[in-house]
Structure 1
Amino acid sequence: MAKQVTEMLKGVLEGIVLAILSGRPAHGYEITAWLREQGFSDIAEGTIYALLVRVERRGLVDVEKVPSEKGPPRKVYSLNAHGREYLEEFWRTWSFLTERLQQLHQGGKQT
């Protein structure tokens, strides 16, 4: 089952990270730690950092460099207006998919 969870997670991880950032700004390590606390123990920091670079390039987040006690400044990501619109679309798509999957799970019956 772990492989299946990993594969499914790849498809929704961007939405999950944006949802986290909709609550508060965070840096990559904080996001990774939170995901691990929620049971996503196989998430690699590198995966999250690569995803953050992609959403930054697409203009979905704003980035602020803040001083760090341990080394160079950290990039703190926050969801901007474009990112909020994208996240709203993600949730609409998620709802559509989960409704259809639930129908399939119930033998194709309409709910």
Structure 2
Amino acid sequence: MPAQAWVTLIVGLVAAIGVIVTMTQKQRADNRREWWTRFEWALEATHSTNRDPRRDRWRVIANLAESRLMTATERSLVSELIGGITTEAVNADDLGVPSENSSEED
């Protein structure tokens, strides 16, 4: 095989690797953007006055908080925003949501 053919092959392989890396980075960025959109939605929905959807949104937040898509900065921010809510707290229904037996009158 002549030298020109080898050069063409190498350039083609480098270009293919570049395309694969670019596509992988774009997919990860898109997934992270979607993660943040879901987190914002769930966080806003925790202000619902209806108990069941509110509890469900906290579960979504707890699930999202375990995602590998978060960076260290986002993990710190999420930790501060949700005040240390854990899966155990979600399962125990200890979410600061008034129970059905409690009254809201003070």
Q: Scaled by the length of structure 2, what TM-score is found?
A: 0.30
Q: Scaled by the length of structure 1, what TM-score is found?
A: 0.29
| Greater strand proportion | 1
Q: Which has the higher contact order (CA 8 A, sep 6+)?
A: 1
Larger radius of gyration: 2
